[in-house]
Amino acid sequence: MRQTMKRILFLLIFVPLFGVAVHGQTAVDRIVAVVDKEIITESELLERVSFYAFQNKLDASKIELKRQMLEGMVTEKLILAQALIDSIQITDEEVTQTLERQIQNLIRQAGSEKRLEEYYGKTISRIKREFREDMRKQLLVQRVRQNREASIQVTSRDVDEFYVTFKDSLPQVPEEYTLSHIYIVPKPDSSLDLQTRAKAVTILDSLRAGGDFALFAKRYSTDGTASGGGDLGWSKRGDFVREFEEALFSLKENQISDVVKTQYGYHLIQLLGRRGESVHARHILFRVEKGAASDTAVVEQLRTLRTRVINGESFAELAKKYSEDEDSKPLGGDLGELTSEQLTSTFADEVKNLKAGEISQPTRVVLGNNYGYQIVWMRKRTPAHTPTIAGDYKHLERLALYVKKNRLNAEWLDEIRKNIFLDIRL
């Protein structure tokens, strides 16, 4: 019973992620599985194992992890084959947005863009380009799952039966926090913005006078591509933010753009070649640094908002008006129910000493190469405990629903296996 529940929970929490080749890893191209027209090589499997182990702080050498990863990859390929049969479509914009979120999550886990690039032996832009197609396939898999699972529900009887069956092996409900926050990013001082743009204009003049673009990129660019002379490799539409892309695709071969401003700073872009719908470019990035006055202004603004809530104003309404977290802003800053395991170390340090109803002081939060400040409202705090029907019905309902989806998906996959060629060689 306990092993069965453990296996079910593993299948529920396993989320397929695109693999990234680890720097220095020796590629092995032995085919370990064939699913329809898709193959899985041993090198791909090792990449997936390394990636998942890195994210979850596991031992990548464990043979059981390797087996589980292969099982997950085979399942993805089976569903992908079904997605193609069902003519499921994913837009370029969906791929770009999802890939960007995935990269930002990795940057947060690694601590910085530089550390992530060093770990995987690739620049951020190269990772995006190389795994764009993998991301499209994974979104196809997710879309098929979502379409299938949309109508699956559980009744109160299902929940009761689930609890009776698994109550002796259910893990404890970890300590849970119901949180909201207001997040604001310091704006660069106007004087620093002007200085940065002026520097970009000066470099542009030097380039147009015959300066070496690659040399200038190595010397002045603050992007991860600097060491490679700013080279972005071959790209397609959708790989870059709108302002950058519009400037890039309007260039003629070997032409250098005017100064282009994006959310990352100021860019100088050179088009090196064009091949159909693909372009080969390089760039120099000048990030706009933020002064101490910018940080102080945001901290004071958040302190004022905190005082306003304490004096009776609605935290949710203030979050809708002032927060710059685009995901939680429409929800009044609501972050939902989170456990300590789901919080980053800095976030956990900020939250763990708050009592229910308290609002934290402004705290600095690092997101990749950017940062901001936030105040956090501890709406509710629930200690770790053994789940019961009376006190944790919603938690048990979610588990029961996951198990039901898992069972129905397993039955569906068994049917797919009968109609799609599958050869596991490992």
Tell me, what's the pLDDT at 9?
A: 34
Residues 229, 180 within the same domain: no
Distance CA 145, CA 381 (A): 33
Residues 6, 88 within the same domain: yes
Residues 216, 103 within the same domain: no
pLDDT at 312 over 80: yes
Residues 298, 277 within the same domain: no
The tokens describing 36, both together, are 């329809």
Residues 26, 158 within the same domain: yes
Q: What is the mean pLDDT of the chain?
A: 85
Distance CA 121, CA 115 (A): 10
Mean pLDDT within 141-168: 91
Give the end of a domain, one of 286, 305, 335.
286
- How many angstroms separate the first and last alpha carbons of the chain? 28
263-269 long-range contacts, CB within 8 A, separation 24+: 264/223, 265/196, 265/222, 266/196, 266/197, 266/200, 267/200, 268/200, 268/203, 268/204, 268/207, 269/244
pLDDT at 148 over 90: no
For residue range 367-393, list pLDDT tens digits in order: 655 689 999 999 999 899 999 999 899
Distance CA 2, CA 17 (A): 27
- Segment (H or E) for 304: helix 292-310
425 contacts 33 by C-beta, under 8 angstroms:
yes
Total domain count, the chain: 3
Surface-to-core class of residue 264, CB atoms within 10 Å of its CB (0-12 exposed, 13-18 middle, 19+ buried) = middle
Residues 182, 194 within the same domain: no
Residues 112, 223 within the same domain: no
Tell me, what's the pLDDT at 11?
A: 33
Can you give the CATH number for the domain in which 28 is found? 1.10.4030.10
Kindly report the number of other CB atoms within 10 A of residue 240's CB atom: 23
Residues 232, 369 within the same domain: no
Which residue range is the domain that position 296 belongs to?
176-187+291-382
Look at the pTM and tell me if it is higher than 0.85.
Answer: no
For residue range 240-270, list pLDDT tens digits in order: 888 999 999 999 999 999 999 988 899 999 9
Residues 279, 352 within the same domain: no
Residues 15, 81 within the same domain: yes
Residues 301, 262 within the same domain: no
Give the end of a domain, one of 230, 254, 286.
286
Tell me, what's the pLDDT at 337?
A: 86
pLDDT at 15 over 70: no
